Structures are given as C-alpha cells and as structure tokens.
Amino acid sequence: MSPQQPNVMGEPPNSRPPSTYPHPGRPMGKPPGTKEPPAAPPKPRMEHHPLHQQPQQHPQPHVQQQQLRPPQPGHQPHMQPPHQQHQQPHGQLPHQPPQHHGQPPHQQQPHQPQSQVPQQQQPSQPQPPPGHLPHQQPQHHSQHSPEENARDQVQKGSQGNPAPLGSEQHSQAATNKHPAGHHPPEHQRLSHEQFRAALQMVVSAGDPRDNLDNFVKIGEGSTGIVCIATEKPGGRQVAVKKMDLRKQQRRELLFNEVVIMRDYHHPNIVEMHDSFLVGDELWVVMEFLEGGALTDIVTHARMDEEQIATVCKQCLKALAFLHSQGVIHRDIKSDSILLASDGRVKLSDFGFCAQVSPDLPKRKSLVGTPYWMAPEVISRLPYGPEVDIWSLGIMVIEMVDGEPPFFNEPPLQAMRRIRDMPPPKLKNTHKVSPRLQGFLEKMLVRDPGQRATAFELLQHPFLRQAGPPSLLVPLMRSFRHSPC
C-alpha cells in the first residue's frame, strides 16, 4: 500500500485524511507553519491527524484549518436558530451573518448579554482607602485530589480559547482565534511550566526508555509522531505516541486524551498502558494493533453485509459504554477504528472527546471532521452523544461506498450541504438489503432527538448477522515500517 500523504484545503481533490491513532501506514498531518525535517516530510493534512499513508485525492481538513476572512471589528456574531437555517444565504454557515461571508466558525465569539445599565452609567466599584488592601472573599481549602485540581487548572487555563475545530493543524487559526477586543486575560492562560506541572499529576514518573527499545516510526501528524517499540522484559510490541508540549495549539486536549484513555476501559477501546513526560514531550504508551485502521479496508476491499454488521456491533458496544459514562467521542470515522490481528475492533483517537454531566448536559464546540460531522455540530447548536451516532452512520456509508458523502467537495461546501440538505443516502442503494438500509436510516436522522441511541441500535435486526471478529481477518493487510 502506498503511503497516504496529508492534505491541506485548496489542494486538488481526491486525497484521503489520516486518522488520529497510531496505526501502521498512516502519517498524522502536521500543522501549517511547522518546520519540516530534511527528509520528505508529509504535507499537513487538515482533516484527520492520525497515520494514514495511502494518498487519495480528496482534501479532508479538520474544520480548524479553514482560512477564512476574519470578523470585522465590533461585529457581534450570533447563532442562527434551527427554524431559520433554511433562510441562510448560500455559502453562509448558520452562525455567520450574510455580510461576513465565509467567516470561520472558530472565530465566532459567543454572544454576551448586555447589562441592563449602559456601560458608561454602571456604578464604579468603591475603592479602598489608601494603604488598605481590597476586601477579599475568604478562601476555602480545596477538598479535591491533586489530580482533580490539576484538571481544573488546565480547564481554567484554556478559558477564553475557542473550541478545537477538529485538528490542531491550523496555525493561522491560533493567531486569529481572539478577534480584537475579545482577548482573554493573560492570567487565564497557563504557561508551559504550569501546564507541564499539571500534566505531571496524571502521568507516571520515570523514563519509559528504561523499559522500551527498538523504536520504529509508523507515522506522524499534527500532534507528534507515533512509533512502535519493544518492551524489554517480555518483548511485547507497543505503540508510543510522542507529542511535543510546546507545539500544541490545544494543550488541554492532550490532558483530556490521557485521562479518558486511562480511566475508561472496554474490550472495544484501545488500551493505554502508561503515559510519561520525557523532557517537553508527552509519551503515551498504548497497545499496538497490527490490523491497522478500518480506512485501509474500506478503500482497498469490498465488505459484505455480514462484515459491516460485525464492525458496527463492536463499535456500538464501545459507544454504548462511553455514552453511559457521559463521554462523547466527537470524531467517529473509519480512521478512528483499529483492528487487532484477530479481527477485534477497537475505538481510538480520544483527543477530541468531551464529558457531559447533569450540570453540563450539552456541548457546543465545533469539533470533528467535516464529512462526518452531524448537522447540529455544524449549526453550532447544543449537542450530546447523539452526534457520535450520526458519524457512525456516515462510517457505514464509507463501508458500503468506499468514502463518505460529498467527499469530492471542499470541506466547507460539504459542511453546508450536510447542514442544509436532507440526510445523505448510499450511492448503491440497490446493492444493500432493506435491513441495512433501515439500520442506516435510524442513525442519519437530522433531529438528534429522533436519532437512535447506541443501546437501541444494538438491538436492531441488522446486527443479528454480525459474526465473530475472525470474520474480518481476510480483509486486513500487512504493513511495512521505516526506522524511527
């Protein structure tokens, strides 16, 4: 299989994005502006940031990479209500006013309600007499564990930053993310040293190189490189993801990924063995899955319905577990699905996951990969775990048609179509059974409230034909690796 190169928006179509988890044969795209090594560096890919190396020819940028016109000074963006979406002029995203055509979602600032008293008439705060300190509220000692305090510190340190738009590859977005007049206070931003100290609360002490050797590079991307290595005691192969803390535009996502992978264990979720800080790099040691990513299968083989049902059933088990724990993955696609050598399916790529709770039941960040995004995410409406079900439906289309809908179109155009048009359908509808068609229709429902849940889909008649994991073994390929 020829290596798949990353892609940036504006290049010719027909290039497939990489995935975000370490698997053989796929480089993770680098962000623009990153200094390239002397030897044949991969071009930055906007959509997936994992390790897919088979070049195809469709740009798949993560949303964060769209370089659009910045907002005019003084403009206060607003969200378009769902019932008015059909009135949007062509080419406008729901939360974008017509006079600012093409303004990127991640540059929108949330609407702040105006005070009832005009700013110039608001009473000033009384000043303390000279020589007196201002009154301070009594401070209470935290009852949280050091790790919880570290997590709070990371979250507070990222306040004011817009949500990631699917990838950390767009350096221009990092420059323009705070329009004039909307910069967060400097004290809200964690310094490198503060973030590193917070991260030390959740990683293990020590140097992983004491127990690992024979590093072999299998990919690289926007967050770093991925190698396979051998454990010295037993000779087991593991995947090691190395990420430079100083090169991350959304550092709190690294914190997120480590905590989620460490705390949530399931047979259909990639297992994280350990994590370490090595200098200014975060090393995440995970199980190595020799089967590679599902994308390698959907682009080079034809899957029958029994195999599709087998993949879907294992994915839904992982999603049902995550959703029951209040975790939204937010980047479901074939690149995020890895296979073990025996055909077991595992969900990976937790860099963009989010936690919901009774206190915070919905999220609004524009996160994910354009072609797999649910309409409510693109519309910047509050959403929950149901966005993963839509993305899984798009992945089913991948397994049948070989690619997601609108894959030949630029990402922004594809997003507009997803937002404004009825749910996409299979190209080869006549080649699938009514059961598969009905299964897909349960997932691709525009109204998230009417979309089936992972638990409900596990009871669907289509999944009765799911077979054992070994059914997928004939579809898998072997890969070659280059020295790290």
Look at the chain and count its residues.
484
Higher-scoring residue by pLDDT: 92, 378: 378
Nearest one of 346, 216, 222, 211 to 287, comparing CA atoms: 346
pLDDT of the residue at 149 = 56
Gyration radius of the chain over CA positions: 23
Q: 292-475: what CATH class?
A: mainly alpha
Burial 355-389 (b: 16+ CB within 10 A, else e): ebeeeeeebbbbbbbbbbbbbbbbbbbebbbbbbb
Nearest one of 430, 434, 454, 452 to 443, comparing CA atoms: 452
**SS3 per-residue string spanning 216-284:** EEEEECCCEEEEEEEECCCCCEEEEEEEEHHHCCCHHHHHHHHHHHHHCCCCCECCEEEEEEECCEEEE
Which residues line the annotated binding site for ATP? 242
Which token pair is 91?
Answer: 């080419």
pLDDT of the residue at 160 = 36
pLDDT of the residue at 86 = 44
3-state secondary structure of 456: helix
Instruction: Identify the weakest region by mean pLDDT among 96-110, 121-135, 208-222, 424-438.
Output: 96-110
Local structure of residue 385 (DSSP, 8 states): T
Paired with 224 in beta bridges are 243
pLDDT of the residue at 101 = 40
Burial 287-325 (b: 16+ CB within 10 A, else e): bbbbbbbbbbbbbeeebebebbbbbbbbbbbbbbbbbee
Average pLDDT (82-100) is 45
pLDDT of the residue at 24 = 40
Paired with 339 in beta bridges are 292, 345
pLDDT of the residue at 151 = 56
pLDDT of the residue at 102 = 40
pLDDT of the residue at 457 = 99
- Single-letter amino acid code for the residue at 89: P
Nearest one of 313, 306, 267 to 455, comparing CA atoms: 313
Paired with 275 in beta bridges are 284
Paired with 383 in beta bridges are 363
Higher-scoring residue by pLDDT: 207, 175: 207
pLDDT of the residue at 254 = 84
19 close to 289: Cβ distance less than 8 angstroms:
no
pLDDT of the residue at 231 = 95
pLDDT of the residue at 236 = 94
pLDDT tens string 318-331: 999 999 999 999 99
Which residues line the annotated binding site? 242
Which token pair is 100?
Answer: 């600012």
Please say if the pLDDT value at position 68 is more than 70.
no
Nearest one of 144, 226, 119, 169 to 8, comparing CA atoms: 169
Instruction: Identify the weakest region by mean pLDDT among 84-93, 371-380, 401-410.
Output: 84-93
Higher-scoring residue by pLDDT: 194, 69: 194
**209 CB-near residues (< 8 Å, 6+ apart):** 278
**21 CB-near residues (< 8 Å, 6+ apart):** 50, 51, 270, 286, 293, 335, 336, 338, 348, 349
Helix-helix angle 192-200:251-263, to 10 degrees: 0
Please say if the pLDDT value at position 66 is more than 60.
no
Q: Where are the domains of the chain?
A: 292-475
Residues with catalytic annotation? 331
pLDDT band for position 81 (50/70/90)?
Answer: very low
Residue with tokens 């409900």: 456
Mean pLDDT rounded to a whole number for the chain: 73
pLDDT of the residue at 422 = 97
Q: Count of CB atoms within 10 A of residue 415's CB?
A: 24
User: CA–CA separation, 359 vs 134, rounded Å?
Assistant: 33
Residue with tokens 């990683």: 203
Please say if the pLDDT value at position 234 is more than 50.
yes
Instruction: Identify the weakest region by mean pLDDT among 5-19, 214-228, 349-363.
Output: 5-19
Local structure of residue 13 (DSSP, 8 states): S
pLDDT tens string 31-50: 444 444 444 444 333 444 33
pLDDT band for position 428 (50/70/90)?
Answer: confident
pLDDT of the residue at 250 = 78
- Single-letter amino acid code for the residue at 311: V
Which token pair is 403?
Answer: 């690619």
Give me the percent of the chain exceeding a pLDDT of 90. Answer: 50
pLDDT of the residue at 198 = 86
Which token pair is 57?
Answer: 């020819």
Average pLDDT (171-189) is 37
pLDDT band for position 484 (50/70/90)?
Answer: low
pLDDT of the residue at 119 = 44
